[in-house]
Structure 1
Amino acid sequence: MTDSPVTRTDHAVLRGHAAVLATPNLDTDQIMPKQFLRGIDKSGLAPGLLYDLRFDGAGQPRPDFVLNQSAFAAVDVLIAGSNYGCGSSREHAVWGMQQYGFKAVVASSFGEIFYSNALNNRLLLAMVPEADVQAFMHEAAPLSGPLALEIDVQRRVVRSAQHQASFTLSDRHQRMFLQGLDVIGASLSYTDQINAFAAQHWAAQPWVKDVARATRERLSALAQP
């Protein structure tokens, strides 16, 4: 494998540099704390990522936390503890990880809602057996910087210089990653079929088409003097 950074030019293979965060049951409240959920859009979430782990009570960076160390400044893959992303359903946890620069997480298990949110937003989650997670962590431990990883979406395999592990991924999500699509893009790929179904539906039941608009116009007309 090569030691190049993550690139989006090849959707079949993601190459990146991984940091280890072995804490199990890291929930979405910790990944993206509540005080960073005040915006009305997806922007500005990177500063809040893992805030209480990255900073102390005075707002100063914790020097021993992996993401605060200069050697790990450009990591884009996380090797995480089990049940990563459990807890509340906040999609901001996924958006914050992406805005910080993460492209993938490797773990043995994930919170169910976080898993769906991540894959629908093109944050790749590679779920491998716990023994393989430990092998990657063991390989990373003596390094002074991140572990180079290659995630082959086509073959559903995670590779490092010393280890290889298969991961699970549904066919639907695999197609989305290979085609460079999030869930909205995947839905739009069925535009012709959706339009055909709608035309058939309205032709068979024309009385329910635009019923809300028609009702609103009728009530507006009745209200006129």
Structure 2
Amino acid sequence: MQKYTVEQGVVTPLDRANVDTDLIIPKQFLKSIKRTGFGDNLFDELRYMDEGYLGQDISKRPKNPDFVLNQPRYQGSTILLARTNFGCGSSREHAPWALSEYGFRTVIAPSFADIFFNNSFKNGMLPVILTEQEVDQLFKECEANEGYQLTVDLDAQEVRTPSGQAFKFEVDSFRKHCLLNGLDDIGLTLQASDDIHAFENQIKQTRPWIFKEL
């Protein structure tokens, strides 16, 4: 998993509350358990003018020019700014997969759905909770300034604006450790690989019948 330390990037404002996981990545695209192949269909219903389906050639699909992801000023964005209860709905892990593959490393909102919040950390993406007043300010600044960027410093636990204003956020110490070191569940397990191998060798000596070929 890619480490998360400091992210400085263009902000995309998604000015709506209660964005559910089916809006983030619609159900018809969930037939794969791979973590790739979902970025093109992120916010599919909002992003395109036609109905999307699996295997479709997106280069021929008409885009909605009013949707933020299709506007030139937000291209290459790595920070998504949203409203309350982001990631609600079903528990699909494909939602953070789609956001990450598109290029977002951070989502900032006043609140998140619990399962989406947990899934984000497990996939190297940082969900940042700020107050509604702070988020309102960021929306206004983003709208007023093309190419608006924020700096998200995980170690310092703060979001910094171009003017130098800093907003503090809370993050669980274990999750912070995992992101800073690029450790997902598999990475955490592999840290104990020497102990695992030692245990396996011990079992081979004390219970050799377990390893007998049939």
TM bucket (normalised to shorter chain) is 0.7 to 0.9
- From the superposition, tell whether residues 33 and 190 of structure 1 become closer, same or farther in structure 2 (CA, over 3 Å): same
- From the superposition, tell whether residues 92 and 11 of structure 1 become closer, same or farther in structure 2 (CA, over 3 Å): closer
**More deviation in 157-166 or 117-126?**
157-166
**More deviation in 58-67 or 97-106?**
58-67
SS of alignment partner, residue 106 of structure 1 = strand
Q: Aligned partner of 1:31: which letter?
A: I
C-alpha separation between the residues in 1 aligned to 2:33 and 2:109?
Answer: 31
SS of alignment partner, residue 115 of structure 1 = helix
> Offset of 1:132 from its aligned partner?
1.2
| Residues 1:48 and 2:41 aligned together | yes
SS of alignment partner, residue 14 of structure 1 = strand
SS of alignment partner, residue 111 of structure 2 = coil
> Offset of 1:65 from its aligned partner?
0.8
- Spell out, residue by residue over 1:21-63, the C-alpha distance to the aligned partner (whole angstroms, 9 max, x if none): 0211101111000111122422211111000111123652111
Count of paired positions: 202
SS of alignment partner, residue 137 of structure 2 = helix
SS of alignment partner, residue 125 of structure 1 = strand
C-alpha separation between the residues in 2 aligned to 1:93 and 1:158?
Answer: 23
Sequence identity, in percent?
35
Name 2:78's counterpart in structure 1: 76
> Offset of 1:197 from its aligned partner?
6.6
Name 2:152's counterpart in structure 1: 151
User: Equivalent of 1:167, from 166, 169, 187?
Assistant: 169
Name 1:102's counterpart in structure 2: 104
So what's the TM-score if we normalise by structure 2?
0.83
- Spell out, residue by residue over 1:120-169, the C-alpha distance to the aligned partner (whole angstroms, 9 max, x if none): 11011111222211111121121233x21111111111111243211121
| Residues 1:137 and 2:139 aligned together | yes
Q: Aligned partner of 1:14: which letter?
A: E
User: Tell me, which stretches of 5 or more residues in structure 2 are unaligned?
Assistant: 52-60
Contact 2:123 2:184 in 1 (8 A): yes
- From the superposition, tell whether residues 127 and 190 of structure 1 become closer, same or farther in structure 2 (CA, over 3 Å): farther
> Offset of 1:182 from its aligned partner?
2.4
CA RMSD of aligned residues (A): 2.5
- From the superposition, tell whether residues 155 and 197 of structure 1 become closer, same or farther in structure 2 (CA, over 3 Å): farther
| Residues 1:16 and 2:16 aligned together | no
Greater relative contact order (CA < 8 Å, ≥ 6 in sequence): 2
So what's the TM-score if we normalise by structure 1?
0.79
C-alpha separation between the residues in 2 aligned to 1:38 and 1:51?
Answer: 15
Contact 1:121 1:183 in 2 (8 A): no
Name 1:35's counterpart in structure 2: 28
C-alpha separation between the residues in 1 aligned to 2:198 and 2:15?
Answer: 49
Contact 1:56 1:62 in 2 (8 A): yes
C-alpha separation between the residues in 2 aligned to 1:190 and 1:134?
Answer: 44
Name 2:56's counterpart in structure 1: none
C-alpha separation between the residues in 1 aligned to 2:20 and 2:139?
Answer: 20
SS of alignment partner, residue 141 of structure 1 = helix
Name 1:5's counterpart in structure 2: none
SS of alignment partner, residue 144 of structure 2 = coil
User: Tell me, which stretches of 5 or more residues in structure 1 are unaligned?
Assistant: 1-7, 218-225
Q: Aligned partner of 1:187: which letter?
A: T
C-alpha separation between the residues in 1 aligned to 2:102 and 2:78?
Answer: 8
C-alpha separation between the residues in 2 aligned to 1:206 and 1:85?
Answer: 48
